[in-house]
Structure 1
């Protein structure tokens, strides 16, 4: 998940929308539950998680992880297709008449060094395709946990076919961090090669109390646009700047001006973020280079706001280049995009009630929108079906409560931090239970919940 900020107050609108949703009819049933994971299964899953955590793989390079997932699915009796969209894995488990439900987990890690101090911390290195340089690799976003959750859920579904009917489609997706994996799988004929699901379901670990789940209908994750700006100057000797057009100064002025777009051009009622994450220029202290590059990221929830912000970026970049006397206009190149993640209202109501039945209502909390982005909804859009995406807490509850009391929540390690690692108890069990509860709503109507543990 590409993340700028994960914390925030619960949105009143989200709370109100959930509180007035009609209770689905299945909530009145006395279900024969899909069982949760046993202690022995959790121990097995813990070992798998630790292995995945210690052996992360970069986006679109997840061959080892994909192999582990594929073998697991085959062992559970799934029909398995490997290499979908590169390294994607799709497992199909047919169990009589009924709907098809897509369950998704992303597999890729990040080009960064881990600093958790865990005995199974990653020491892996690889080549970052974006830069061509060697980099440390770490599962600092929790995708290793997502894979483990789905493996646990598929095992339980496969072992309890007398308790549900329909088809399970388990999708282990590559390349979420760069926004390419879901699209690559769809471009590889996923819609034509596999049965159409009635709903797509996914989840993500986030830094709030472990054991808690957050969910809401409507927009839950922002749209993301990443772009590269190349600023052109005229190089020369550092001792004679008067004969040059310095792209370093041009870039510095551009960065400062870009920061005024949100603060001075976007209404406080419209959410937007503009981040300059990279600025590169030059090779020596006494050489003025002939170009500089910026990499920007934009987060928005509204297409109109997005268009306005992108237009303002171009205006600022072109303007600063003109003022600096650049020999030619800047070049703006789109690097990647993530769609807006919008939870279907009716399907979210069903999942929310299923989660409450299984976990207890006190553990299911309304979610607020986050300035994070996902490509999960690419699957739902390709099939034109509803999707639901929810969040599972992974932070020690006492640590979270202490930080909340001290006003230091923003100092807790979060996704993409080198110190981030979810606590496994009860996070591992919770993620398996939530996936079973959500899938069970469609695969086993009336069997959404088991007794809360």
Structure 2
């Protein structure tokens, strides 16, 4: 494979002509979010656009996924991925293109990922004279559920469309738009989502002595779970244990029969992962026993993301190409991220290198002011916040530029 950096600026000449169109696509997707495996409108819009750009389009891959293929003679196969599901979050951004779907929002930037990949496919389709090989544009459903990548692979992604030589992708984050962050090695944490149901004995609120109160049981469990990282994981290791939901009861004077907890666990090594999961089970069962519960708690794994490991050589090669176009000073190493991503499955399944990077989405001036004031956590909304929405520019331009340039860094130059 030859290095096609000289062709990247040429391919990007077409960006000015489609920038407004891509911004419109982004705003439309943001206004019409859809939850995991329910992305029917989104998939149809992606398929229509990709088809207009000259891609071979297949829908329904992994239930609601879309694959858009650009074939351009012999050469490497480059998989470029974007996810497109939204979250059950009520939007509070006040934007003119805010969600029109009650209780659903693109609070993680997947709408931006999708618009950027569509833009990259358009530029690559229009610059076929510059490169040889195959581009697989993979629009993945259900990343937030941790199931979309596996669903597409199980639906014969590689058998039907070809096995890639490299997997590329990006995720928007709350740092200055116009910058790119990539970390070689373990880059995004492994994640396990658990659903725990603690069983008690219901009673009238006026007679707690006749109950086994699952609300108190669950509250004690939440507090005890917070000791896992602080008391069972070495200071040199990293882990996160979050209880994101605690649901119990229907009325103030009714002690319910059960309480439900939903947990999110992030780790970077298999040893730490085993330690944390074992501790969770021990604590949940122990608190139930101490409370006198007659029935064992239910502990169910609802989603699991593997550790995302960026290939060292792939990061060096890809970021050198991207930096040569956007400026080396705009590319940085963010270190390991405690967020999780199932895109790593695409690389692991084919045993090919993966390069997955972060795309800045925060207003640069607002970020700079918050950084200077020490108020980043307060003033710059992070992913999954009801206030999170990347600024359209320069996020969109940088994202399209990065994906296009990265793909060209792996395709054969002509």
Alignment of structure 1 residues 224-303 onto 2, 5 Å? 224-303=191-270
User: What's the secondary structure of 2:392's corresponding residue?
Assistant: coil
Distance 1:244 1:38 in 2: 66
Contact 1:191 1:382 in 2 (8 A): no
Residue 188 of structure 1 and its aligned partner are, at CA, apart by: 1.0
- Among 167, 172, 184, the alignment partner of 2:151 is 184
Aligned counterpart, 2:407: 439
- Among 112, 118, 123, the alignment partner of 2:95 is 118
- Among 289, 302, 308, the alignment partner of 1:322 is 289
Aligned counterpart, 1:35: 11
Unpaired segments of 5 or more residues in structure 1? 1-23, 126-135, 448-453
Aligned counterpart, 2:34: 57
Distance 1:33 1:70 in 2: 27
Q: Deviations over 1:74-95 (max 9, x none)?
A: 1122211110011100111110
Distance 1:245 1:394 in 2: 48
Aligned counterpart, 2:323: 356
Aligned counterpart, 2:113: 146
- Among 187, 200, 205, the alignment partner of 2:172 is 205
Residue 155 of structure 1 and its aligned partner are, at CA, apart by: 0.5
Q: Deviations over 1:28-78 (max 9, x none)?
A: x75574422432310111111111111111111111111111112211222
Residue 327 of structure 1 and its aligned partner are, at CA, apart by: 0.4
Contact 2:68 2:137 in 1 (8 A): yes
Contact 1:221 1:371 in 2 (8 A): yes
Residue 174 of structure 1 and its aligned partner are, at CA, apart by: 0.5
Contact 2:75 2:412 in 1 (8 A): no
Distance 1:265 1:358 in 2: 46
Distance 2:333 2:323 in 1: 12
- Among 376, 384, 387, the alignment partner of 1:419 is 387
Contact 1:34 1:440 in 2 (8 A): no
Distance 1:443 1:191 in 2: 18
Contact 2:2 2:412 in 1 (8 A): no
User: What's the secondary structure of 1:196's corresponding residue?
Assistant: coil
Aligned counterpart, 2:308: 341
Query: Is 1:84 matched with 2:51?
Result: no
Paired residues, number: 412
Change (3 A) 1:39 1:422: same
Query: Is 1:193 matched with 2:160?
Result: yes
Contact 1:34 1:436 in 2 (8 A): no
Query: Is 1:405 matched with 2:372?
Result: yes
Aligned counterpart, 1:48: 25
Q: Deviations over 1:390-433 (max 9, x none)?
A: 01111111111111111111111111111111111211110000
Q: Deviations over 1:342-396 (max 9, x none)?
A: 1011111110111111111111111211110111111112212111100111111
User: What's the secondary structure of 1:206's corresponding residue?
Assistant: strand
Unpaired segments of 5 or more residues in structure 2? none
Distance 1:184 1:32 in 2: 33
Distance 1:277 1:43 in 2: 38
Aligned counterpart, 1:169: 136
Change (3 A) 1:406 1:335: same
Change (3 A) 1:407 1:97: same
Aligned counterpart, 2:299: 332
User: What is the RMSD of the two structures over their aligned residues, measured on CA atoms?
Assistant: 1.6
Alignment of structure 1 residues 129-140 onto 2, 5 Å? 136-140=103-107
- Among 80, 85, 88, the alignment partner of 1:108 is 85
Residue 25 of structure 1 and its aligned partner are, at CA, apart by: 8.6
Distance 2:144 2:293 in 1: 34
TM-score scaled by length of structure 1:
0.88
